[in-house]
Amino acid sequence: MPKLRVHNLTVTLDGFASGVGQRPGAPFGDGVDGLHEWAFAGMRELTDGKGGIDAGWIERGDENIGATIMGRNMFGPVRGPWQDESWTGWWGENPPYHHDVFVHTHHLRPSQPMEGGTVFHFTDEPVETVLRRAFDAAGGQDVRIGGGPATVQQYLRAGLVDEMHVVVVPLLAGRGERLFDDLGDALDGYRVAEVVASPAATHSLLVRR
């Protein structure tokens, strides 16, 4: 059975997955500089052909993924209605997805094909419907939720997430958007199946009980 997976979801020691004031130039807002430094270091290790704990998790997150789901704040800093449709994500002309990407938003717009095979679809459908579409698009592979925290929370509350890779980094944000918040009883269905620490981050894998 294909799975719904979350990867590389990084939080500060005090639990924040993003800061305040998300905008172009500061996709994760203020107060969280260095949040993803572990991932950049891991990607450099991969580029250099070296192994490493962080590199291993980066690779693992990309394996067998056939479609991506994300929230609108992960797609871009624009809030409210689109002023035009010139914003096509943070990732340039050739985004690193190369498959269908479903963006949750109340403000619909036509699907946006990009170079390299990525197609952004904009949807205000319920999570169950979006997930069904994503599994169809993935053609038997797994589906990944890219983020951000509010979108992950929606899928956790609906009991739809099969695996979640959470990364805790030694930073303090003080404020922002928490990952583990507004979840009700949702976490009761999960346990921590793996933990491994690199010098930069502690990686945990949540799976269903």
Total residues interacting with its own copies, rule: CB under 8 A: 26
Dist CA 101 CA 80 (whole Å): 20
Phi, psi of 33 (to 5 degrees): -55, 135
Q: What six digits make up the tokens of 129? A: 């419907």
Rule CB under 8 A: say whether 78 interacts with its own copies.
no
A 10 A CB-CB count for 205 gives 19
Closest to 198 in 3D by CA, of 32, 41, 21: 41
CA triple 156-202-181, angle to 5 deg: 30
Least distance (Å) from its own copies to the CB of residue 14? 4
Q: Which stretch binds its own copies (CB under 8 A): 83-91, 138-146, 147-155, 183-191?
A: 183-191
For residues 139-178, which are near its own copies according to CB under 8 A? Answer: 166, 168, 170-174, 178
Cβ nearer to its own copies, comparing 108 with 192: 192
Q: In the complex, which residues of this chain contact its own copies (CB under 8 A)? A: 13-15, 166, 168, 170-174, 178, 180, 183, 185-188, 190-192, 195, 197, 199, 202, 204, 206
